[in-house]
Copies of this chain bind each other. A is one copy, B any other.
């Protein structure tokens, strides 16, 4: 069985999420890079997501807005440093509810005989800033995001 693993070691500045998908790497890459597919997997199921901007190339910006059942909106944005199809995306990440706290996200996709190892790492400016993200319930949301992505790639 494929399981999502979330690694949060004490005293470190990063969070690492891994998962093996039963799909070729090209399919997983398409799922994560296509703006029209973002609402199908990005964030928790309870929120709807709107892609405000997603210009997936070096220097391009991205901004997504979550809207929950009460109409509360949460914005997230960043810029792309690197987009190397179908293996790597490096981008910055800022939750607009905690302005000024920026993380560097690295998504790596590795081919494994028709399956794909997905590794999403986020390194924060400080241990405190990382721990605040974890305290905010980020772990459950991240787990749901990866589950939804697994469901999406199974359909593609």
Contact A81 B106 (CB under 8 A): no
Q: Which of A105-129 contact B (CB under 8 A)?
A: 106, 121, 123-126
Q: Which of A46-99 contact B (CB under 8 A)?
A: 58-61, 78-82, 88, 90, 92, 94
What is the size, in residues, of chain A's interface with B at 8 Å between Cβ atoms?
Answer: 27
Identify 18 new A-B residue pairs, CB closer than 8 A, beyond the known A79-B79, A79-B92, A88-B100. A11-B12, A12-B12, A12-B13, A13-B13, A58-B61, A59-B59, A59-B60, A79-B81, A81-B92, A81-B94, A82-B94, A90-B92, A92-B92, A92-B104, A102-B106, A103-B104, A106-B125, A121-B125
Chain B contacts for A92, CB-based, 8 A: 79, 81, 90, 92, 104
Q: Indicate the member of A61, A102, A106 with the most B CB atoms within 10 Å.
A: A102
CB distance from A12 to the nearest CB of B (A): 7
Copies, count: 2
**In the bound complex, how far is the Cα of B79 from the Cα of A102, in angstroms?**
13
Chain B contacts for A81, CB-based, 8 A: 78-79, 92, 94, 102
Chain B contacts for A14, CB-based, 8 A: 13, 125-126
Contact A123 B13 (CB under 8 A): yes
Provide a sorted-by-A list of 9 A–B residue pairs whose CB atoms are within 8 angstroms: A12-B12, A14-B126, A78-B81, A79-B79, A79-B81, A81-B94, A92-B104, A104-B125, A121-B125
Taking CB as reference atom, which chain B residue is nearest A14?
B13
Chain B contacts for A79, CB-based, 8 A: 58-59, 79-81, 92
